[in-house]
Amino acid sequence: MNRKYTLGIIGVRGYVGRELLALLADNKDIEVDWVSSRQLNGEPLLKLLEQDENFGFSAVANEHYYKDILIENLSATDVVNKETDIVVLALPNGLAEPFVLELERANNCQLIIDLSADYRFDNQWIYSVPELTELNLLNIDRPVKISNPGCYATAMQLALAPLLIDVKEQANIQGQANCFGISGYSGAGTKPSANNDLTRLNNNILPYSLLEHLHEKEVSYQLGIPVSFSPHVASFFRGISMTVQLELKRSWCLQEIFELFDTFYKNCPLIIVSESIPNIQQVVNTDKCAIGGFKLSDDGRRLCLVSCLDNLLKGAASQAMQNICLALKIEF
């Protein structure tokens, strides 16, 4: 390739936008051309990246990447006029549509990737958990539009996917899968709320949206099975621990379960399958998802397992980078 792909981020103020910038600093095929934030218009990008101790981004080490970029407040028309190859929408839910409509109309970018939930139920978009999706873009109109999965939804789907179909093409799961998730408070975003209030979270764990959470609907829709999900937020900053319990249609042994998962993810370098129970410390600040801790009831029909990942990375920014690289056929 003779040139780098150009990329712009709308909504760079959020945690995921910042994480994505740290990943892009090390990518030899993509160059960040512009970033947009209504609240931070006119500020140097490096100022944003330097101010938060929760991020691994080293402004000094990576200064040459972003030293000349000022944050802009770009309208949908402004974004189209940039003629950027890749546009990343890192906006809160419900705000992506004006940008998408203008980019579709102009048809002058190659890839749009949306990090919100706005298009996760839209069949005109490609919904992609990279380990579970084969991206065949030969007959896809430009721009390619990819909807990035939710963080909780990623943890659940990676835990459930190997069990959906057995070697005889029969479903393994019977009835509803029950998922209990705990996330760090970064999952509540940068806007102050009850779920990222450190006073309320101190020595505490907060249940919320205990029925019909959006990620419950997302997983049920994408996997085609009923899922029950109970989310909680705790006082640590980043990471997700997801405990999944389900009924199986036949009796299994633990070795069968482990081999099923190990074989399913054997060509997936970001997935760690282990017999021991994974924990958040294993995956925080990495792009890995750890799955394991498999336990069976005495009759071999009830299974429990745990899936852990970093909600800002494998649950968001790293997964977005995977999808960008798969779509453009470049190295992750």
pLDDT tens digits along 243-276: 999 999 999 999 999 999 999 999 999 999 999 9
Q: Are 163 and 31 in contact, with CB atoms under 8 Å apart?
A: no
129 and 159, same domain (yes or no): no
Of 71, 80, 74, 16, whose CA–CA distance to 44 is shortest? 71
| Burial group, residue 86, by CB count within 10 angstroms (0-12, 13-18, 19+) | buried
Structure tokens at 30: 């993509």
**C-alpha to C-alpha distance for 181 and 227, rounded to whole angstroms:** 13
Catalytically active residues, by annotation: 151
Of 306, 192, 285, whose CA–CA distance to 239 is shortest? 285
24 and 140, same domain (yes or no): yes
271 and 323, same domain (yes or no): no
pLDDT tens digits along 38-89: 999 999 998 888 776 655 544 444 556 788 899 999 999 999 999 999 999 9
- How many other CB atoms are there within 10 angstroms of residue 132's CB atom? 19
58 and 102, same domain (yes or no): yes
pTM exceeds 0.95 for this model: no
209 and 75, same domain (yes or no): no
What angle is formed at CA 98 by the lines to CA 96 and CA 101, rounded to 5 degrees? Answer: 105
11 and 145, same domain (yes or no): yes
313: which DSSP letter?
Answer: I
179 and 295, same domain (yes or no): yes
- What CATH number corresponds to the domain at position 51? 3.40.50.720
279 and 238, same domain (yes or no): yes
* pLDDT given for residue 54 in this prediction: 57
219 and 140, same domain (yes or no): no
- What CATH number corresponds to the domain at position 179? 3.30.360.10
* pLDDT given for residue 135 in this prediction: 77
120 and 249, same domain (yes or no): no
Range of the domain at 112: 5-149+316-328
| 3-class DSSP assignment, residue 286 | coil
- How many other CB atoms are there within 10 angstroms of residue 56's CB atom? 8
Work out how many domains the chain is built from and give that number. Answer: 2
280 and 218, same domain (yes or no): yes
What stretches of the chain adopt beta strand conformation (E)?
5-10, 30-36, 86-89, 111-114, 126-127, 144-147, 173-183, 205-207, 227-234, 240-248, 271-274, 289-296, 302-309
* pLDDT given for residue 290 in this prediction: 98
* pLDDT given for residue 46 in this prediction: 85
* Ranges under pLDDT 70 in the chain: 1-2, 52-64, 138-139, 165-171
**C-alpha to C-alpha distance for 162 and 178, rounded to whole angstroms:** 16
- Determine what percent of the chain falls in helix, strand and coil, rounding each to the nearest 5: 30, 25, 45
280 and 250, same domain (yes or no): yes
- Sorted by sequence, the CB contacts under 8 Å of residue 176 that are 6+ apart come out as 225, 226, 227, 228, 246
Q: Are 36 and 8 in contact, with CB atoms under 8 Å apart?
A: yes
